[in-house]
Amino acid sequence: MTVFPPQSREIFAGHYPEKPHRLAHALGDHPLLELEALAQLAEALPAGSIEYNFADLPIGIDGKPDPTGIPIGETIRNIATTGSWAALKNIEQHAAYGALLEELLAELRPDIEARTGRMLLTQAFVFITSPGGVTPYHFDPEHNILLQIRGSKTMTQFPAGDPSYAPDEVHEAYHTGGARELTWRDELAAGGREFTIGPGEALFVPVMAPHFVRNGPEPSVSLSITWRSEWSFAEADARAFNAVLRRVGLKPASTGRWPAGNKAKAYGWRMLRKLGGR
């Protein structure tokens, strides 16, 4: 089965890797993405691959939100009423979901690798959210396509690489072991771009594009398919090298966004890691 129709693949090829855009998909009735199948998957995954908490959160948070105390299977089966947000991480570790991820990415692989080099570290995540839930302001290190399976949500994205929304120091801290949550200020809202997606629609999120998500009035199931690339790893490593330069009192220039290669700083960081001098 082809999931992304030809027009969506053309749109993707014209926008990847830096421009957010909507796509169509044909994954909505897949049996692996039914609530009962996801509840069973969650109960089988190791504890480190599950994150869940109350869904009624502010856009900006300081630290991890409190857990609900409701078992993960019950959380998912009753997502309409549990007031919860749940993430199933690295679902590709289950063979059936790993095969699904590879099928989806195979449709896009030629366009991806033509722009950003080899597709690396492919991963998939499922998000199950109660009505009105919020995913707070943060960024992610992967190229990401969020496929909406059930319900609707609105993602507000902010320009990737713009230090007004995610300062260089925050990026550098993340790539040397820190957190990815960002500090929210209400004045940032004017720079955001809203994308509302429903069943059969998907949204591309560029690497490190800050964003937050508000769920619609119904329970939501979303599948996130992600990958790293030669380019994204080079940017990440260059940011880590900038952190080292900053620690010794220098003020390094920001890393470049695609198509900048960031190779010199990336190699510098990789050499430091080999020498144990991070």
Reduced to 3 states (helix: H, G, I; strand: E, B; else coil), residue 276 is coil
Domain boundaries of the chain, sorted by first residue: 6-229, 233-275
Q: For residue 167, what pLDDT is reported?
A: 92
Query: What DSSP element (H or E) covers 61?
Result: none
Class assignment of domain 6-229?
mainly beta
Q: What is the 3-state secondary structure of 153-192?
A: EEEEECCCCCCCCCCHHHHHHHCCCCCCECCCCHHHHHHC
**Residue 277, pLDDT score:** 59
Full pLDDT tens readout for the chain, 278 residues:
799 999 999 999 999 999 999 999 999 889 999 999 999 999 999 999 999 888 887 788 766 766 777 899 999 999 999 999 999 999 999 999 999 999 999 999 999 999 999 999 999 999 999 999 999 999 999 999 999 999 999 999 999 999 999 999 999 999 988 777 789 999 999 999 999 999 999 999 999 999 999 999 999 999 999 999 999 999 999 999 999 999 999 999 999 999 998 999 999 999 998 887 55
- Are 206 and 229 in contact by the 8 Å Cβ rule? The answer is no
How far apart are the C-alpha atoms of 120 and 232, rounded to whole Å? 10
The reported pLDDT for the residue numbered 65 is: 67
Distance between CA atoms of residues 110 and 119, nearest Å? 10
Picking from 215, 199, 206, the residue whose alpha carbon sits closest to that of residue 134 is 215
Chain-centre distance for alpha carbon 201: 16
Q: Which helix (H) or strand (E) covers residue 222, if one does?
A: strand 220-229
Q: Which pLDDT value is given to residue 66?
A: 67
